[in-house]
Structure 1
Amino acid sequence: MRDPRLGTSYDVELPAGTVRCHEAGAGRPIVFVHGYLVNANLWRKLVPLLSERFRCITPDWPLGSHLVPMNRDADLSPPGIARLIADLLDALDLRDVILFGNDSGGAYSQLTAVTYPERVGRLVLASCETPDCTWPPTPGGFPLLKWTAAHPATYSALYQVLRFPATWRWRNTYGWLAKYPIDAATMRSYIDPVLSDPAIRYDGRKAIGAVDERYSRAAAATLAGKFESPVDFLWAADDHVFPLAHASAYAERLGTEVRVVPDSYTYVAEDQPEFVAKEGLARWQR
């Protein structure tokens, strides 16, 4: 299930495989990059607030909650995902793109911006990895996700607990990512693929097993010195996973400021879509 507010769905054939996209609106393009074990539904509340002014493109990136498996030999390491994002921008011939990354999607977006900057006109980082963070982030016990990816059996076993809705609010599942409970239909769209499809598990395991802070820290170092387009920080006031202090230090290095999203955890588009949209409408139009 993908929320109808995301707009029209279509598939884009890329060298690494098929990426399913959803699109609504017209204007300057915003390409959204979600993190691990969520999909385009993360943006379902935000897109209708922005689509009157922007062309909102919300792909399902191959991070465990997607529906179309990638090619078996696809590179889903952080540099591979950055290449995938860049290939999508090329395939859709998007220019002056606002690249909006949240959670680990922010790390992938930083990698894309520094490696393939040609089509990126603005980078929006929303509660994500900074140079002071590990990847996966240490708070909440998320390194377990990478450890269990070492073998298909341990990877599959880890997610079986998500069959029970009571576990969705645990801090090491989604409880420290969304401040308020996510509706059941959206949650099912996040967890059912990894529970039911071995090919999706294969992609998810490859992706989470390859993350490492050396990639995000290298991207941050390059971003500070060479990325010439604007960078915005939207950070959850109550984030347990990505500390606000880390965001402030990183923003200072980049010569920008942090806009604090009140009453929110990491998933700012889930908890406070109106605030995020207001910031976007004020800052991102040409």
Structure 2
Amino acid sequence: MKEIELSAGTIAYEDTGEGPTLVLLHGLMMDASLWADVIADLSADHRCVAPTLPLGAHRQAMQADADLSLTGIARLAAEFLERLDLHDVTLVGNDTGGALVQLLMRDGDARVGRVVLASCDAFDNFPPGLTGKTLVLAGKLSPRMFGLFMQQMRIRMLRRSPLAFGWLTLRGDAATARWLRPVLTQPAIRRDAVRTLRAAAAGGAGSLLAAAEHLPGFDRRALVVWASGDRVMPPEHGRRLAGLLPRGELVEVDDSYTLIPLDRPARLAQLIREFTRASDAS
């Protein structure tokens, strides 16, 4: 993993492969390894850049005055694109990462050439599902008590429950256990996580609803990939997003929950590759 110093603090990121540039964004309580299997496939003919954003599974704490709201983290992602001098990027987001993509679409970031939204927070679905609502409620605790609450997630049965990751992924339990380590072992990361969750609770839904109003003005190509059996991100939202985007197209994926990069990485990589090739040809 490489590192870059941004205004909010040090961000770790993976940067591998050559070809059209993909920037892949993860969700709350996750890190860049969400995309590991997708990157292993796509890096054969794409440059794959995946930052670990300060969403609760990062390894280095952010500065005390860092804006850890969804809008603030979206601005951090835009700063990341600028600092790496990335252009004509295919911006890919899953789960809360897709919410960040929508905020960058709203802001009209010129470095973004096209987007992929994969089973993500949208419209009024924030915090999403039992998992999101449980996290936001837990975020009201002090960092110490939040850490004690999260210690329960060491138990696989609880980690696989609908209150945790059980409705987010069919096959990715090893990854979810790994993502919990920083918040379980580092007090500074627990403080960041609580700040993020409180800020998200205060303004997340409003930010997404405002972003949705700008989607019809996004004039670049967009691919919406949705898990047809998603129990956290309503499939109707995927159809609605694709319908709002002037150049949007929808593909539904079976045998997957929200975290398609974990459950169906080969299928997602295939769809992204076909999308970027079609963009190059158009």
Go from structure 1 to structure 2 and tell me whether the alpha carbon gap of 1:69 and 1:223 turns closer, same or farther (over 3 Å shift).
same
Q: Which amino acid aligns with 2:188?
A: A
Given residue 71 of structure 2, which amino acid in structure 1 is its aligned partner?
Answer: P
Q: For 1:83 and 1:141, locate their aligned partners in 2 and report how far apart those are by CA, in whole Å.
A: 25
**Residue 172 (structure 2) pairs with residue 177 (structure 1):** no
Q: Secondary structure at the match of 1:233?
A: strand
Amino acid across the alignment from 1:66: H
Aligned pairs (5 A) from 1:257-268:
257-268=249-260
Letter aligned with residue 88 of structure 2: D
Deviation per CA, 1:227-277: give whole Å up to 9, x if none. Answer: 221111000111000111121122112232310111100000101011111
Contact 2:154-2:177 at 8 Å conserved across structures: no
Find the partner of 1:236 among 227, 230, 252: 227
* Aligned residue in 2 for 1:4: none
Question: Which residue does the alignment assign to 1:149?
Answer: 139
Q: Which runs of 5+ in 2 are unaligned?
A: none
- 1:1-286 correspondence to structure 2 within 5 Å: 9-131=1-123, 133-137=124-128, 139-152=129-142, 153-183=144-174, 186-211=175-200, 212-225=204-217, 227-255=218-246, 256-285=248-277, 286=280
The letter for the 2-side match of 1:228 is: D
Contact 2:225/2:238 (8 A) holds in 1: no
Cα distance change of structure 1 residues 141 and 61 upon mapping to structure 2, 3 Å threshold: closer
- The alpha-carbon deviation at position 142 of structure 1 amounts to 2.4
CA apart distance, 1:95:
0.2
Taking structure 1 as the reference length, what is the TM-score of the superposition? 0.91
Q: What is the CA deviation profile of residues 42-71 of structure 1, one whole-angstrom value per residue up to 9, with x for unaligned ones?
A: 111110110011100111111111111111
- Other structure's SS at 1:124 match: strand
Cα deviation, 1:111-168, whole Å, max 9, x if unaligned, reads 022215110011110001222x32111x325212112212324422321211222222
Pairs aligned (count): 273
Identity %: 36
Using a 3 Å threshold, how does the CA distance of structure 1 residues 110 and 181 change in structure 2: closer, same or farther?
A: closer
Residues 169, 181 of structure 1: 8 Å contact kept: no
Change in 2 beyond 3 A, CA 1:253/1:187: closer
Structure 1 unpaired stretches of 5+: 1-8
Whole-angstrom CA distance in 2 between matches of 1:246 and 1:263: 18
CA distance in 2, matches of 1:191, 1:246: 28
Q: Name the CA distance, whole Å, in 2 between partners of 1:30 and 1:130.
A: 21
CA 1:41–1:262: 2 relative to 1, 3 Å: same
